Amino acid sequence: MTRSAAPPISAVPPAVQWEAMAENALLLRFGDTIDSSLNTCVHAATAHLRERLPTLEYVPAYASVLLRFDPAHWPALEERSPHQQLGDAVIAALADLSTAATASALIEIPVLYDGPDLTDVAALTGFSIEDVIVRHGAVEYRVAMLGFAPGFPYLLGLDPALAVPRRTDPRQRVPAGSVAIGGRQTGIYPTELPGGWQLIGRTPLQLFDVAADVPSLLAAGDRVRFRAIDRATFQQIAKARSA
């Protein structure tokens, strides 16, 4: 795995709406679609708000951000609830996001493309196995969000020609590190999990370690590139990781 800094990405925010979620959370909605440009705006807004309202906890998703706050820091004033005060503060903080930028990490993920569904993906797309591998590794992805299980990254940016349906017979056990395609997205199973995505390869990297200071290898907003490796390199990286 390698990391490198990314150039800033400018984002123009769409109309933002907020709604109260429980007594200590606020949900910001930027839209209702799974879209790369919209998701880029979500992460730009999240980075922007973290600088201006650092006491909040931020959980970005495809087209929204959940903000958790301490009600004690936002006491009710007259007829204005903590949610109303925070909502106003957030909208005000986003007012100058038109030229805001966010820099994200670029993380390279080595992949041994030997997945049990690779042949099926090639058949479904009409490409050769070699073309599937090249196309999958030729683009840059963005971690739209983490979900389903701790550390599971939903990656946007898949070549549309590689979009394939999920399996009709989901597996009860998908090995940790499996790289997969599900619809118009790709992802990596961080631990052994049930799943129905098409498995095209595996990485020797550990995506999630509950004992680590930062358990998840990837964070929402990170950029990802896949690099094809051979079996010997896979074993070498796996051995070094477990040493």
Structural domains of the chain, count: 2
pLDDT value of residue 37: 83
pLDDT value of residue 100: 47
pLDDT value of residue 11: 57
CB 39 within 8 A of CB 4: no
CB 50 within 8 A of CB 60: no
Final residue before a domain boundary, out of 102, 136, 153: 102
pLDDT value of residue 85: 87
Judgement on whether residues 94 and 115 belong to the same structural domain of the protein = no
Question: CA-to-CA distance for 57 and 27, rounded, in angstroms?
Answer: 12
- pLDDT tens, per residue, the chain with 243 residues: 544 544 455 555 667 889 998 889 999 998 888 888 888 888 888 988 998 899 999 999 999 999 999 887 776 666 778 888 888 889 888 887 754 455 678 899 999 999 999 999 999 999 999 999 999 999 999 999 998 899 999 999 999 999 999 999 999 999 999 999 999 999 999 999 999 999 999 999 999 998 899 999 999 989 999 999 999 999 999 999 876
Final residue before a domain boundary, out of 102, 131, 165: 102
Judgement on whether residues 156 and 51 belong to the same structural domain of the protein = no
- Distance spanning both ends of the chain, measured CA to CA: 16
